[in-house]
Chain A
Amino acid sequence: MDIIYNILETILPFEFMQYAFMKNAFLAILLVSPIFAILGTMIVNNKMAFFSDALGHSALTGIAIGSILGISNMNISMFIFAVIFAILLNLVKNKTSYGADTIISVFSSIAIALGLAILAQSGSFNKYSSYLVGDILSISKTEIIYLFIAFILVFIFWGKLFNKLNAISINPVLAKSKGINVKLLDNMFAIIIAVMVMISIRWVGILLINSMMILPAASSRNIAKNMRSYHAYSIIFALFSGIVGLIISYYTNIPTAPMIVILSGIIYFITFGARKVVNK
Chain B
Amino acid sequence: MEACGLHCTKIENISVKIENQTILKDVTFDVHCGELTMIIGKNGAGKSTLLKALLNEIEHTGKVEFIDMKENKNKKIKIGYVPQSLNIERNMPTSVYDMFASYISDKPVFFRKDVELYKKIKECLKTFGADKLIDNRVGNLSGGELQRILLSIATYPIPNLLILDEPVSGVDRNGTRDFYEILSKLKDKYDMSIILVSHDLELVKKFADKVVLLDKEVKKQGTVNEVFESNEFKDCFGNI
Residues of A within 8 A of B (CB): 38, 41, 45-46, 158-164, 166-167, 169-171, 173-178, 220-221, 224-231, 275, 279
Q: Are A228 and B106 in contact (CB under 8 A)?
A: no
The docked-state distance in angstroms from the alpha carbon of A23 to that of B41 is 67
Q: Are A163 and B102 in contact (CB under 8 A)?
A: yes
Majority SS at the chain A contact face:
helix
The 3 nearest A-B residue pairs measured at CB: A224-B93, A230-B93, A177-B81
User: When the two chains form the complex, which single residue of B80, B137, B153, B163 contacts A225, counting CB atoms closer than 8 Å?
Assistant: B137
Q: Are B101 and A173 in contact (CB under 8 A)?
A: no
Which of B26-34, B84-92, B206-214 faces chain A?
B84-92
Q: Are B103 and A175 in contact (CB under 8 A)?
A: yes
**Cβ distance B56 to chain A, nearest Cβ, rounded Å:** 8
With known contacts A163-B102, A167-B103, A173-B83, A158–B108 Cβ distance under 8 A: yes
Q: Are B95 and A227 in contact (CB under 8 A)?
A: yes
11 additional contacts (CB under 8 A) given A162-B109, A229-B93: A161-B106, A163-B105, A163-B106, A166-B102, A166-B109, A169-B87, A171-B83, A171-B86, A173-B55, A177-B80, A226-B109
A171 / chain B contacts, CB cutoff of 8 Å:
83, 86-87
Q: Are B93 and A164 in contact (CB under 8 A)?
A: no
Q: Size range of the interface on B?
A: 35 or more
A230 / chain B contacts, CB cutoff of 8 Å:
93, 110
- The chain A residue with its CB closest to the CB of B18 is A97
Residues of B within 8 A of A (CB): 52, 55-57, 79-81, 83, 86-88, 91-95, 97-99, 101-113, 135, 137-138, 150, 153-154, 163
Q: Are A164 and B98 in contact (CB under 8 A)?
A: no
Tell which of A224, A226, A279 has the most Cβ of chain B within 10 Å: A226
Q: Are B81 and A173 in contact (CB under 8 A)?
A: yes
The docked-state distance in angstroms from the alpha carbon of A171 to that of B109 is 17
Q: Are B110 and A162 in contact (CB under 8 A)?
A: yes
Q: Are B80 and A45 in contact (CB under 8 A)?
A: no
The docked-state distance in angstroms from the alpha carbon of A229 to that of B135 is 13
User: When the two chains form the complex, which single residue of A174, A228, A275 contacts B83, counting CB atoms closer than 8 Å?
Assistant: A174
B112 / chain A contacts, CB cutoff of 8 Å:
228
The docked-state distance in angstroms from the alpha carbon of A221 to that of B89 is 11
B137 / chain A contacts, CB cutoff of 8 Å:
225-226
User: When the two chains form the complex, which single residue of B79, B94, B104, B106 contacts A177, counting CB atoms closer than 8 Å?
Assistant: B79
